[in-house]
Amino acid sequence: MRRRVFLGSIGSAVSLGTLAYATRTVDELEVRVWFSERANQYETARTRVREYLGECLDLEFWSLDLSIEGSVPVSTEDGARVTSRGEWPAIVASGAIGAGDLEPAADVNLLVTDGQMQRAPTGYGVPHVASVGGAGHIESLEPVDELVSRSATDRPIVPLTSATRSMQVLLHEVGHALGLRHDHGVAFRTGDAVVATPMVSTYAFSTAVGPERSRCGTAAVDPARLERKLSFDFSACARRELATYGTDRD
């Protein structure tokens, strides 16, 4: 691995946002995924995470270096608290300075747990570090080729289920680790359905929570009386932002 130096420190949820590596121009996106000890028991979930991340992060402006690692002992399976309370970022930071066994990635260090996915927050993402629950749901997810091949449009649109939502939340937290925000997501209408992309996710189905307008310039879609579906594709404005990842910006 090309070692980077962490420029931030970890002490609270507020300081997590300062965790970062030295800025550089990205030609290769390095992503590593670990699993909590409970989540690591789901062998198919490990395969699905590899498939879906490989499909969704293989973008034209970088080559993807994705590796699926082993298990990490953590004190909680809660996919949000393990990062928001500093435990997972501290493990990553310890590895970065050579004080731990874990060797972090340059760009995204994701922990998948067996945490619940019914009550938000179910995951958490800060620069270069993310975690999410739902390993048990991801275990039942179909292979990526089978699921997206049945889409009736040019965009891979899938039904809203516990499994698809868990995978989309995983992509959502990876997006946060790469600097994306909720308003980089869009909801769009197709036929009798409203479809949410990863960064807005199911927030799009709540007019009280979702952003009124995305950075793509699109307005929120009223989900009333519409079927709710998901897309695993990042929106156009999310992709534009990802294309500038790692470059110096004012």
170 and 240 part of one domain = no
Q: Which of 160, 179, 198 lies at the terminal end of a domain, its last residue?
A: 179
Q: What is the pLDDT of residue 137?
A: 98
Write down the pTM of the prediction: 0.89
219 and 135 part of one domain = no
Q: Which of 125, 157, 179 lies at the terminal end of a domain, its last residue?
A: 179
The pLDDT tens digits of the residues spanning 59-108 come to 999 999 999 999 999 999 999 999 999 999 999 999 999 998 899 999 99
205 and 172 part of one domain = no
Q: Is residue 104 assigned to a domain?
A: yes
pLDDT band at 49 (very low <50, low <70, confident <90, very high): very high
Is residue 3 exposed (0-12), middle (13-18) or buried (19+ Cβ within 10 Å)? exposed
Domain of residue 131 covers 1-179
Total structural domains in the chain? 2
Map residue 109 onto helix, strand or coil: strand
53 and 5 part of one domain = yes
Q: Is residue 122 assigned to a domain?
A: yes
Q: Which of 179, 203, 230 lies at the terminal end of a domain, its last residue?
A: 179
The pLDDT tens digits of the residues spanning 6-32 come to 333 333 333 444 344 444 456 999 999
The pLDDT tens digits of the residues spanning 118-165 come to 999 999 999 999 999 999 999 999 999 887 666 555 567 899 999 999
Q: Is residue 101 assigned to a domain?
A: yes
202 and 175 part of one domain = no
Q: What is the residue whose two structure tokens read 């004190």?
A: 75
